[in-house]
Amino acid sequence: MSRKFIVGGNWKCNPASMKEANTLLKEWKKSLPSVDKSKVDVVICPPALWMTTLSPAIEALGMQTCAQNVGKNDAGAFTGEWTAANLLDLNIKWTLIGHSERRTKYGETDADVAEKVAKCQEIGVNVILCIGETLEEREGGKTDEVNKRQLAAVIPKVKDWSKIVLAYEPVWAIGTGKVATPEQAEETQAAIRAYIKGAVSSDVADKLQIQYGGSVSPDNCAELITKPNIDGFLVGGASLKPTFMEIVSKVGPSKMVDMWPKFEEKMKKEGLNDTAIAAFKYTYGVLVSGADVMIPESKLDPVEKLPEYEKLREKPDPRLLKKTLILKLNGGLGTGMGLEKAKSLLPVTQGFTFLDLIAKQVASMRKEFKTDLKFMLMNSFSTSQDTLEALSKYPDLGTGSDLEFVQNKAPKVTASDMSPAEWSADSSHEWCPPGHGDLYPAMLGSGTLEKLLKKGYRYMFVSNSDNLGATMDLKILTHFVQSGAPFMMEVAERTDADKKGGHLAKDKAGGLLLRESAQCPEEDEKEFQNVGKYKFFNTNNLWVDLAALKREFRRNDGALPLPVMKNGKTVDPRDKASTKVLQLETAMGAAIQCFEGASALVIPRSRFAPVKTTNDLLALRSDAYKLTEDFTIVLAPERDGVPPEVKLDGMYKFTDAMEKLIPNGPPSLLHCKKLVVEGPVTFAKDVIIKGTVTVKNSSGTSKELAAGTYEDKTVEL
């Protein structure tokens, strides 16, 4: 249900003069000439004496005037009061009722509040009803009880719920600068909505706008507004500043209201399930809220120490294997390496493709552990068919929905207006993969999670299909299970070569999280790349407790709140003149921040041998790596855990071009630190590279690097 946002500015007994109030309104006009009323309602509550004088200027901004209070009486001998009818008579259509300052400083009771609401209902004045608990009540665990009590007094008086807005304002957050966290506000407001659902009706609960109030500012509002049960704000101190308009504009362009129904319809028409829709709704909501996706240095602490693989002391427990699933992510196409099919169909070494090696690894693990280890793949629409065909020669691996589930697809978003992208020339271009963070909703939505849990599977080891170092390791599995962690990430130590990639860190509460380069503000880039400070990176080898995953889904209304990355592209990737779109993605490793008590383990580099480019592929095919008996690819012992760095000329980006570079097989890289190739070159048989070597040919026609040993030099051909 999409509700229109509503922002209130409660000036209280401020500013000191009407002149200042007028100046403030003029400042606002400079930054936002007019609020778009179709997207957001903005109500301003000046001191009562000024309401009528200021009203025209307020309305000229596309806002409405709201009283801060109203009497419970009709006209008569009530010195100092005014009636709901007086408000309407002056064309003031709104009033606050029950603000905590009225309750605590002027002794207003729940019964007074209820009577005032009744009067407004009778006359037809819109009410922003304020509720909320004190610090003492929160600390005593009474938050929900207090809110329910305050609401219960009013509910019988309400006949027309379309004239009621709630403002949840925790008293301890008002004017203190101590804002409720988005999670705290969301949890309480979800409980308020649930209560209304039970006490009134689902329909009323669905439509009721609930504002959050208490130290809202331009800095914290974007994150708060991403929460599904926060429909706007009641702002005090920050509404007395010119920057109040930043709050209005961060909330204002309610694309959720305008556009979401179109996305929902499109996804339903495409046959996507509710979980996929909920996941995309979350990511789209983050996009249009303008929430700050940056993680500045000030919000982080480095992770100093972590358990290390070599020091694990738990006694490996083979019984756990029966409850464990090995899952390989296999949704990627090899387009980046010039392949039009699943990347895992690329021959890696000795004629084996990734998939061959994976199948053989599983067979060898089953033999080693004498158990029928459960294995599955997450495919995408583009890889499913090819993969299943290629794996049909390994029938023991499983078939159909026992072997795979398929990743969802997400609509591309038109960059200019946030609408669903359209491309009638080829509608398949209107969709994109939602990133491997889709693992979780795809597992849930396909029914796989439930099926696995029912069959008694509890633990999952996930890795990318292009990482041939990621095999089932009983020592790690036992450590993970005995630690009781709901989620564990295998991390490796960052070297200089990894400094541009993301890193593990801790938030100020001590929870683990990942920071990717796109999430690092420019001024913190130096610290981001400081591998001595941020020592670990995510290998995407993850361990997940499936029962905890199910719990997390339930706690978050069916969509894990993962950080959202947006990639700017064109709708037809090959046509750079086609419509500009945004593709929204989440990453599976980022889920570490969703699980309380998640942990990480430092693993040796041997468990991390991904092939992302032809540079990696050339290194992997060389003698710097060995294919073990159990079909794992490991670095040769001479390498001391450090892979060689290969940097080929851009002309070797695709595998077929790379084959032409090494017609006689790869050079020996056993003792190579770094190999750079510039220009068209072929390697003769028996070339040995040691240390750092650059091979250059600027002639334009291919030249051969003759057999021999090359050590720490630049060779000009």
As a whole number of angstroms, the distance between CA 343 and CA 390 comes to 12
Torsion angle (degrees, nearest 10) of CA 670, 675, 680, 685? -20
Nearer to ligand 13P, 10 or 599 (CB): 10
247 and 233 in contact (C-beta within 8 Å)? Answer: yes
Catalytic residue among 55, 72, 101, 540: 101
Residue 169 in the binding site for ligand 13P (CB under 6 A): yes
What is the nearest approach in angstroms of ligand 13P to the Cβ of residue 163? 19
Residue 71 in the binding site for ligand 13P (CB under 6 A): no
Spell out the SS3 assignment of 669-713: EEEEEEEEEECCEEECCCEEEEEEEEEECCCCCCEEECCEEEEEE
Residue 484 in the binding site for ligand 13P (CB under 6 A): no
Residue count, binding to ligand 13P (CB under 6 A): 14
Nearer to ligand 13P, 173 or 348 (CB): 173
Please provide the DSSP assignment of 156-190 as one string.
Answer: GG-S-GGGEEEEE--GGGTTTS-PPPHHHHHHHHH
Residue 213 in the binding site for ligand 13P (CB under 6 A): yes
Q: Of the listed pieces 31-39, 230-238, 335-343, 527-535, which binds ligand 13P according to CB under 6 A?
A: 230-238
Catalytic residue among 55, 69, 147, 215: 215
Q: Of the listed pieces 146-154, 169-177, 411-419, 608-616, which binds ligand 13P according to CB under 6 A?
A: 169-177
Active site residue 99: yes
22 and 248 in contact (C-beta within 8 Å)? Answer: no
Token pair recorded at residue 138: 């929160």
Active site residue 22: no
Active site residue 456: no
- State the binding string over 171-200 for ligand 13P (x if CB under 6 A, else -): ---xx-------------------------
As a whole number of angstroms, the distance between CA 157 and CA 704 comes to 90
Residues for the chain: how many in total? Answer: 717
Give the SS3 label for residue 578.
coil
Active site residue 538: no
Residue 662 in the binding site for ligand 13P (CB under 6 A): no
| Residue located via tokens 């005090």 | 236
Nearer to ligand 13P, 216 or 251 (CB): 216
Residue 216 in the binding site for ligand 13P (CB under 6 A): yes
As a whole number of angstroms, the distance between CA 387 and CA 379 comes to 8
What is the nearest approach in angstroms of ligand 13P to the Cβ of residue 137? 17
Catalytic residue among 99, 281, 533, 569: 99
What is the nearest approach in angstroms of ligand 13P to the Cβ of residue 571? 42
Nearer to ligand 13P, 114 or 216 (CB): 216
Spell out the SS3 assignment of 536-562: EEEEEEEEEEHHHHHHHHHHCCCCCCC
As a whole number of angstroms, the distance between CA 194 and CA 95 comes to 25
Active site residue 516: no
What is the nearest approach in angstroms of ligand 13P to the Cβ of residue 650? 54
Nearer to ligand 13P, 233 or 457 (CB): 233
Among 5, 6, 7, 10, binds ligand 13P (CB under 6 A): 10
As a whole number of angstroms, the distance between CA 294 and CA 287 comes to 13
- State the binding string over 233-272 for ligand 13P (x if CB under 6 A, else -): -xxxxx----------------------------------
Q: Of the listed pieces 167-175, 308-316, 495-503, 590-598, which binds ligand 13P according to CB under 6 A?
A: 167-175
Catalytic residue among 115, 133, 169, 552: 169
Nearer to ligand 13P, 137 or 678 (CB): 137
8 and 43 in contact (C-beta within 8 Å)? Answer: yes
517 and 502 in contact (C-beta within 8 Å)? Answer: yes
> For residue 15, is the peptide bond before it cis, meaning its omega torsion is within 30 degrees of 0?
yes
Nearer to ligand 13P, 113 or 300 (CB): 113
Active site residue 12: yes
228 and 207 in contact (C-beta within 8 Å)? Answer: no
Torsion angle (degrees, nearest 10) of CA 31, 35, 41, 43? 50
Name the residue number minimizing CB distance to ligand 13P.
236
What is the nearest approach in angstroms of ligand 13P to the Cβ of residue 128? 9
Could you say which residues in the range 89-108 bind ligand 13P, by CB under 6 A? 99
What is the nearest approach in angstroms of ligand 13P to the Cβ of residue 54? 18
Residue 68 in the binding site for ligand 13P (CB under 6 A): no
Catalytic residue among 12, 157, 653, 696: 12
Active site residue 338: no
Residue 132 in the binding site for ligand 13P (CB under 6 A): no
Give the SS3 label for residue 657.
helix
Q: Of the listed pieces 168-176, 182-190, 416-424, 527-535, which binds ligand 13P according to CB under 6 A?
A: 168-176
The residues, any chain, with a CB within 8 Å of residue 78's CB and separated by 6 or more, are 71
Give the SS3 label for residue 469.
coil
The residues, any chain, with a CB within 8 Å of residue 528's CB and separated by 6 or more, are 503, 515, 517, 520, 534
Active site residues: 10, 12, 99, 101, 169, 175, 215
| Site residues, ligand 13P (CB under 6 A) | 10, 99, 169, 174-175, 213-216, 234-238
